[in-house]
C-alpha cells in the first residue's frame, strides 16, 4: 500500500494527518493510513515541477509519446491489484472499472499519437518580404508551447479516467506541462497505484524529476495552497459547482491570475418532440430512465431535465416513465457525501411547490444507495423557479411539461449553460424545430439528436465543456484531443535563425506537420 | 459633429453629462459636447446586441466579409474629415494617422478574407461507426461559434487601429459577435465618425440592428456597467495594467465570470550580446533609441529595458546611447494624463537608488511633450528592485548592466511576462545563447532576433499578448488573424441530420474548407 505523497520521484510523508478510504458498499474502512501533504511538501512539489518544466517543455513529441504510452502499459501491468482497489474504494462494478481503465489507457495513447504526429502545435509561418514597401516584412513563425506546471484535481466519479492519470493529466503531460495531482480523498489507494505507475514510466523514459507529483489531502488546505502557488500556471478540475467556483475565485484573485478549467456539470436537458412521443413512448421512457440511472446517475452528462409538449400522449408517456423508473436497479453511490447530497437534493426537489412526484423508489435502508426518482412540473413553474435548474447529482430527473409551443421555446431560452442538450424527434418533425436547435447551440457544448447525453466519446470532435455554469470556460474541452489546448499558448519567433528554431517551425519542416505557410495549409 | 451615443442604428443622448475633447498640441478644447451614456442606454445597447447576436451568429462568412469590407470603404470614404479629427484629438502627425487608417482598413479586410474562406471555424468531423464493438460510435462534428456580445474598450494610443473599428472590433464582428464600444474620452469625435461608418456599412449590408453600438463615457460608470451586464460575454481592452486588472476583477467577480482580454503592455527587454556591441555600437544605439521614441514611446511594444554584458565596450555603448537619446525629436503626447504619468514615472525611475541618468532631455515647457530619457542600473540592483520592471509609458528606457554571464541569465529569469523580448547579436555569437533564447520563450509572446519590438506585423503568425502581466491571458493574441479565436467556442453536434448542420460541417463540405475528418485534414 502506497500511503505517501510523491514529490517527483521521491516518496514523502512529513505530515501528521492521516486518513483512510472507506468502502462505500460495506462502509468499512479500507487498509492504508494515507499521509496528507504538508505546506512544505506542496512547495517542494511545485518547485520541482517548475524546474522540470524548463526541460520537459522542450521534450520532443516522440519522447512525450513514449512516456504516455509507457504510463498506459504500467497501468495495465497493475492488473487485478488496481481493479480490486478501485472497486473497493468506489463501489463501482468490475465491468465499469475495467472499461474505465481501458478508456484511461486509450486516452493516454490518443494524446501520444497526437503529439507524436505533431501538428497540434498549430505552426504558422509568414515568411519575410525584405523588399516590401514602405517597410520590409519580417519573418514571423508561431507555435503553441507549454504554459508551465498544471494542478489536476481528481474526480470522485471517475477514479481512473478523470483522476490521477485521467484526461486532464494526459493532456497536460502531452502539452509539455508537468502535473501535480491533488488526490481525491475517496480513492487514495487507487491514486497511489496510478501515481507510482506514472513515475515508473517517467523513470523508464528518462523524464525529468518533477514532471509528475501526487499529493494526498483532506480538507481544502492542500488544494488552496496549490492553486495559490505563483509557479502554478493552470488548474483542471471536475466536480461540483461550489468546488469549481471556489477554485475559480482563488485563481482569479491571485497576483497573477491563472485559468481554472472547472467542469461543473449541468442538467443536460432532453427535448422530446410530440411525434416521437406518440410513436415510441415506452422505448423513449426506458432509454431516458436508463441514461438517468447509468452509474447511479453520477455522470456530468446525466439528463436531469426532460422537456415535453403537453398533448393527448403526455399521460401515457409519464406513466411509461414512471414505470421505467420504478424498474431501475438501485446502485451504490461513490461515497457518503455524494449519497447524502443526493438524498437531500432529491427530497428538496420533490417537495418544491409545483413539483409532482412521478416515481420515487423509497429508501428504507442504511446503505449509501441511490434510489431513482422522476418528477414533473409545468413550464410556467419551471420558468419562475431557478432552483428547478439545479443539478441533483444522482439518478433523478425532472420532466417539464409545456402547455404550448411558446412555453417550449421559453424553457429552452431560459436554460443556463449546459454540457449537453438533446433533441429527440422523428425525422419528419425535426426540421420544424430548427429554432429550438438554434437556441440549444447557444446553451450547450454538445447538441445531440435522438440520443442520450451519457457516454462521452473520446475523439477529436468531442466538446465536453459548455457555457457557464456548466464550465468555467466553455471555450475549452476536457475530453478529446482538443483538451491539450488548455495548457499551451502561442509563441511567435521573429527573424529567428533557422537552426535555432524549434523543429516544428524550421524551413524544411523536419517533422512533416501541417503548417499554415503564407496563408496556405501545407505539409 | 456626432456627439450622441449609438444604440444600434439609433442615435441617443438621454444623459446630462457632456464632455469635450482637447487638442493635446494646442491644449484647446475641440468642438463637440459629447453626451455620456446613461445606465438605461447601456442596457438598451446590450439588449440589442443580445438580440442581434441570435441572428448575426448565423450570418454566413460571405455576408460578414461584405460587412467588414464595407466598413473599410466607409472609413476610407470619410477622407480628410477623419484624418483631421484624429490629428486634432491625438496630436499624431498626418503620416502616422494615414498609416494607421490603412492598417485599420487592412485589418478589416484581413478578417473579411479569413471568414469568407471559412476554415477558421476549425471544423472537426468524426464519422459514425454503427458496428463498433462493444458500443456503436456516434457521428460527432465540431466547429467554433460566436460567444455573444463583446464589449470593446478603445485605446488611447491607437485612435483607429485599436479603437472603434480596430482589431478587437474587427475580430469580434468577424467571429459573429455583436460589439458594444466604450469610446475613449480622448477621441470621441473620431469615435463618432467611425461608429457612423460601421453603422452605415451595417445598414447597407443588411446586418441586424444591434450588431454594433457605441457609448460615450467619462469616468468608470459606463465601462463598469458594460462589463457587469449579464448578457455581455467577453471584453477586449488595450491599456494600462491598472485598467486591465480592474476589468479583470469585475469580470471574474460576476455571477457568470467572463474573459477579459486585456493587453496591458510591458517593458519589452532587448538583450544585446557582447559581439554586436563591439562591432555595431553606434548603429545599435541609434536603432534602440529610435524604437524607444517611436510615437513618443506610446506603444505597448516600446523597449523599456536594455540588458547588456559589462565589458570593455560598455562605456562606448552607453555614450552612443546617451548621444542618440539626446538627439531624439521631442513629440507631443496623446493627452494630459499620459503626459503627466510619463513625467512622474520617469522622475521616479531616475531618482531610484542605484539608477544613473545617462541622458535626459530637460523639460522646460508647458506643452504635453515627451522628453526622452535613458538611464542605467546594475543587474544586482535590478534583481533586488521589482519597481525597475515597471513600465514607464513614454520614451524612456533603462539599461541593465550585467557584470557577468550569471547575472545576464539571472535578469532573464527574473523578468515578468512580456509582450516581446529581443536578442541582438552577431550570427556567430547567437548560437552560444540558446539558453537565453529558451528562457525568453517562457517569458514573452514574441521573441525577436536583431530587431526592435515596435512595429507589430498584422499577419497569421503574429502573437501580440504575452504571459501575465503583459496580458491577462497569454493564450490569445489581439493582433493578427488569431485574434478571432478569443470570441468563439467549440460546439459539437452528435448524430445531427445533415440538412440541419451548419454548412461548415455538412457531409459534402459546401464551403470547401479545411476540416479534420476522422483524423485527416482534408478539403
Binary contact (A252, B256; C-beta < 8 A): no
Nearest to B490 among A57, A455, A463 (CB): A463
* Per-residue model confidence (pLDDT) at position A265: 84
Q: Name the pLDDT band for A366 (thresholds 50, 70, 90).
A: confident
Q: What CATH architecture does domain B270-449 belong to?
A: 3-Layer(aba) Sandwich (3.40)
CA distance B258 to chain A (A): 8
Look at the block and give the residue holding cell 502539452.
A175
Which of A74, A100, A185, A263 does the annotation list as catalytic? Answer: A263
A148, closest residue in chain B (CA to CA)? B442
Measure CB to CB from residue B124 to each of A461, A514, A519 and give the nearest one: A461
User: What value does the mean pLDDT take over residues A421-441?
Assistant: 97
- Nearest neighbour of A475 by CB, restricted to B140, B489, B496: B489
Q: Give the per-residue pLDDT at B413.
A: 97
How many CB atoms neighbour CB A264 within 10 A?
A: 25
Helices A61-77 and A94-117, axial angle in degrees (round to 10): 170
Nearest to A494 among B119, B141, B446 (CB): B446
Cβ neighbours of B191 (radius 10 Å): 29
- Indicate which residue of A4, A88, A105, A300 is catalytic: A300
Return phi, psi of residue A229, to 5°: -70, 130
Please name the residue of chain B whose CA is at the shortest distance from the CA of residue A472. B257
A248 → chain B, closest CA residue: B252
CA distance B440 to A493: 11
Q: Is the domain defined by B5-264+475-486 classed in CATH 3.40.605.10? A: yes
10-residue mean pLDDT profile of chain B (523 residues): values are 97 98 97 98 98 98 98 98 98 97 98 98 98 94 98 97 98 98 98 98 98 97 98 97 97 98 96 98 98 96 98 98 97 96 96 97 83 97 95 97 96 98 97 97 98 96 98 97 98 98 98 97 94
Phi, psi torsion values for A45, nearest 5 degrees: -65, -40
Task: Over range A487-497, report the average pLDDT.
Answer: 98
- Chain A residues in contact with B448 by the CB 8 A cut-off are 138, 494-495
Q: Could you give the residue ranges of the DSSP H alpha helices within A263-335?
A: 274-293, 314-326
**Cβ-defined contact of B461 to A124 (cutoff 8 Å):** yes
pTM above 0.80, yes or no: yes
Using a CB-CB cut-off of 8 Å, the residues of chain A touching B461 are 124-126, 140-142, 492, 516
User: How near does any CA of chain A get to the CA of B184, in Å?
Assistant: 26
B270-449 has the same fold as B5-264+475-486: no
Nearest-CB residue to A482 (from B256, B490, B497): B490
Residue A58 with chain B: CB contacts under 8 Å: 438
- pLDDT tens track for A317-351: 999 999 999 999 999 999 999 999 999 999 999 99
At residue B361, the pLDDT reads 85
Number of neighbours of residue A135 by Cβ within 10 angstroms: 10
Amino acid B265: pLDDT: 84
- Whether A500 and B57 lie within 8 Å, measured CB to CB: no
Catalytic residues of B: 263, 300
How many helical (H) and strand (E) elements, i.e. helices and strands, does chain B have?
Answer: 15, 23
- Cβ neighbours of B124 in A, within 8 Å: 460-461, 482
Q: What is the Cβ-side half-sphere exposure of residue A12, based on CA atoms within 13 angstroms?
A: 21
Contact A143, A211 (CB under 8 A): no
pLDDT of residue B134: 87
CB contact under 8 A, B491 and A444: yes
Q: How far apart are CA A21 and CA A470, in angstroms?
A: 29
pLDDT-derived band at A365, boundaries 50, 70, 90? confident
Give the pLDDT score at B104. 98
The grid coordinates of residue B169 equal: 472590433
Contact B462 A493 (CB under 8 A): no
| Per-residue pLDDT, B427 | 94
Cβ separation B446–A495 shorter than 8 A: no
**Max Cα–Cα distance, chain B, nearest Å:** 83
Contact A445 B141 (CB under 8 A): no
User: Omega of the bond prior to B469 within 30 degrees of 0, cis?
Assistant: yes
C-alpha grid cell, residue A435:
429554432
Domain ranges of chain A: 5-264+475-486, 270-449
Does residue A366 have an active-site annotation?
Answer: no
Percent of chain A with pLDDT over 90: 98
Which of B447, B450, B401, B405 shows the shortest CA–CA distance to B424? Answer: B450
Within B91-240, residue ranges assigned H as helices are 94-117, 167-175, 188-204, 221-228
Distance CA A11, CA A272 (A): 53
The pairing of strands B356-360 and B373-378 is antiparallel
B473 neighbourhood in chain A, CB within 8 Å:
259
Task: Report the phi/psi class of residue A480: left, alpha or beta, with left for phi > 0 and alpha for psi in -120 to 50.
Answer: left
pLDDT in tens, A226-285: 999 999 999 999 999 999 999 999 999 999 999 999 999 899 999 999 999 999 999 999
Residue A362 pLDDT greater than 80, yes or no: no
Amino acid at each position: 500500500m502506497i500511503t505517501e505523497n510523491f514529490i517527483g520521484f521521491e516518496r514523502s510523508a512529513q505530515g501528521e494527518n492521516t486518513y483512510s478510504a472507506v468502502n462505500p458498499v460495506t462502509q468499512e474502512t479500507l487498509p492504508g493510513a494515507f499521509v496528507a501533504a504538508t505546506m512544505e511538501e506542496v512547495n517542494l512539489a511545485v518547485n520541482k515541477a517548475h524546474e522540470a518544466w524548463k526541460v520537459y517543455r522542450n521534450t520532443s513529441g516522440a519522447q512525450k509519446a513514449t512516456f504516455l504510452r509507457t504510463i498506459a502499459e504500467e497501468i495495465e501491468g497493475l492488473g487485478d491489484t488496481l481493479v480490486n482497489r478501485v472497486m473497493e474504494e468506489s463501489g463501482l462494478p468490475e465491468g465499469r472499472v475495467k472499461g474505465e481503465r481501458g478508456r484511461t489507457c486509450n486516452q493516454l495513447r490518443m494524446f501520444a499519437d497526437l503529439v507524436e504526429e505533431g501538428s497540434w502545435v498549430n505552426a504558422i509561418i509568414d515568411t519575410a518580404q525584405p523588399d516590401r514597401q514602405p517597410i520590409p516584412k519580417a519573418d514571423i513563425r508561431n507555435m503553441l508551447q507549454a504554459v508551465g506546471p498544471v494542478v489536476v484535481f481528481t474526480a470522485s466519479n471517475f477514479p481512473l479516467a478523470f483522476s490521477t492519470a485521467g484526461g486532464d493529466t494526459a493532456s497536460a503531460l502531452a502539452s509539455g506541462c508537468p502535473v501535480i495531482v491533488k488526490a481525491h480523498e475517496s480513492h487514495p489507494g487507487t491514486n497511489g497505484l496510478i501515481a507510482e505507475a506514472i513515475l515508473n514510466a517517467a523513470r523508464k523514459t528518462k523524464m525529468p524529476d518533477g514532471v509528475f507529483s501526487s499529493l494526498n489531502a483532506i480538507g481544502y488546505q492542500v488544494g488552496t495552497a496549490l492553486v495559490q502557488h505563483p509557479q502554478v500556471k493552470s488548474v483542471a478540475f471536475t466536480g461540483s459547482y461550489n468546488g469549481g467556483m471556489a477554485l475559480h475565485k482563488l485563481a482569479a484573485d491571485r497576483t497573477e491570475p491563472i485559468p481554472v478549467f472547472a467542469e461543473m456539470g449541468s442538467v443536460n436537458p432532453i427535448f422530446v418532440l410530440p411525434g416521437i412521443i406518440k410513436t415510441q413512448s415506452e422505448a423513449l421512457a426506458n432509454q431516458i430512465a436508463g441514461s438517468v440511472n447509468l452509474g447511479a446517475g453520477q455522470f456530468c452528462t446525466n439528463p436531469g431535465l426532460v422537456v415535453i409538449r403537453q398533448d393527448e400522449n403526455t399521460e401515457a408517456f409519464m406513466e411509461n416513465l414512471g414505470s421505467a423508473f420504478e424498474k431501475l436497479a438501485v446502485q451504490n453511490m461513490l461515497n457518503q457525501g455524494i449519497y447524502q447530497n443526493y438524498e437531500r437534493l432529491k427530497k428538496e426537489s420533490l417537495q418544491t411547490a409545483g413539483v409532482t412526484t412521478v416515481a420515487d423508489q423509497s429508501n428504507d435502508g442504511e446503505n449509501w444507495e441511490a434510489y431513482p426518482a422522476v418528477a414533473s412540473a409545468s413550464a410556467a413553474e419551471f420558468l419562475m423557479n431557478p432552483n428547478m435548474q439545479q443539478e441533483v447529482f444522482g439518478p433523478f430527473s425532472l420532466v417539464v411539461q409545456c402547455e404550448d409551443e411558446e412555453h417550449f421555446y421559453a424553457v429552452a431560452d431560459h436554460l443556463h449553460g449546459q454540457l449537453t442538450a438533446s433533441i429527440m424527434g422523428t425525422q419528419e418533425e425535426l426540421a420544424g424545430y430548427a429554432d429550438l436547435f438554434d437556441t440549444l447551440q447557444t446553451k450547450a457544448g454538445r447538441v445531440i439528436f435522438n440520443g442520450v447525453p451519457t457516454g462521452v466519446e473520446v475523439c477529436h470532435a468531442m466538446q465536453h465543456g459548455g457555457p457557464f455554469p456548466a464550465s468555467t470556460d466553455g471555450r475549452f474541452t476536457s475530453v478529446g484531443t482538443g483538451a491539450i489546448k488548455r495548457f499551451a499558448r502561442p509563441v511567435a519567433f521573429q527573424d529567428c535563425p533557422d537552426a535555432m528554431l524549434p523543429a516544428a517551425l524550421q524551413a524544411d519542416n523536419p517533422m512533416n506537420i501541417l503548417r499554415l505557410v503564407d496563408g496556405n495549409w501545407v505539409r
